[in-house]
Each structure stands twice: as C-alpha cells, then as structure tokens.
C-alpha cells in the first residue's frame, strides 16, 4: 500500500472535544513491550485518567488491565478505539467498530492512514482522527 494523506480527519477543536469526552479507550495493537510506542502512549493515557483496554493477540494482562483478543470480545461499552496497526488492518477494525455500535471515535495513530476505512467509520457516525498521536495531542491541549 502506498502512503496516503488523510482526506478524512478531525480538526483541532474536534480533537480537543474527543479527548474531553471519551473515558474508555480500546488500544488495538497494544504491545506488552515497554519500549514500544503503543505501550508508552497507553501508559500515558492511563495515567491521564482514561480507562484503557488492551487489544492484543497474546498476553493476559498489560498495564494491569485484562487483555482482549479482539474488539468483539470486550463485554462493556468502549468510547474510542486507538489503533497501533498497519494501515491495511484499519478496514476490518472499522467493521468491528461498526458492528459493536458503541464506539464513538476511530483514532489511527501517527503515521497510520487508511482513508477508505476512515470514511467507512465516518459514514457510520464515528468521529475520525488519522495520523495523530493521542498522547501528543493530549499533552498539547492539557499541559501547555
């Protein structure tokens, strides 16, 4: 897949509203490796007061939270999915978000863009953020 520029994306005001409104964040691709970006971002979000839910194919616990193998397995409402996966994984993740019906925000981390998946999520009523780091955005909004 060639690199894409995000044609579907939230603006700064929408990002601020998202980070103010969401409480529960599923982290798709949350690695148990503390040196990985997904771990550092999830830890930051957890320390900032968000409930994080690890979604990862292995492990039983990451950052003190039960790990789920898929979004479908999470038995309680989720406000946002924060994605640390390759762009071609975003379409099935968008489908899983749509199937759940409770996810309000589809967030692809820095360097991750899939406009077709983002449009699918947007058409289903979700807010969409692509190619932005949730930790960086939170720091800029709340620590400056």
The whole-angstrom separation of Cα 125 and Cα 132 is 20
Give the model's pLDDT for residue 9. Answer: 81
Residue 49's pLDDT band (boundaries 50, 70, 90)?
A: very high
Higher pLDDT, 77 or 7: 77
Residue 1's pLDDT band (boundaries 50, 70, 90)?
A: very low
Q: Domain 12-142 adopts which CATH fold?
A: Rossmann fold (3.40.50)
| 19 touches 134 (CB < 8 A) | yes
For residues 52-67, one letter each, b for 16 or more C-beta atoms within 10 angstroms of the residue's C-beta and e for the rest, the string is bbbbbeeeeebbeeeb
Domains of the chain by residue range: 12-142
Answering whether pTM is above 0.85, one says: yes
């Amino acid at each position: 897949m060639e690199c894409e520029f995000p044609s579907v994306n939230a603006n700064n005001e929408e990002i601020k509203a998202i980070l103010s409104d969401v409480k529960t964040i599923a982290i798709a691709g949350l690695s148990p490796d503390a040196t990985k970006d997904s771990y550092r971002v999830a830890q930051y979000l957890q320390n900032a007061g968000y409930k994080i839910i690890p979604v990862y194919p292995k492990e039983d616990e990451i950052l003190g939270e039960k790990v789920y193998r898929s979004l479908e397995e999470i038995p309680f409402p989720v406000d946002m999915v924060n994605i640390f996966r390759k762009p071609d994984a975003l379409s099935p993740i968008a489908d899983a978000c749509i199937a759940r019906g409770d996810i309000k925000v589809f967030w692809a981390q820095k360097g991750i863009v899939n406009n077709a998946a983002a449009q699918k999520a947007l058409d289903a009523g979700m807010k969409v953020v692509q190619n932005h780091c949730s930790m960086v955005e939170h720091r800029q909004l709340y620590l400056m």
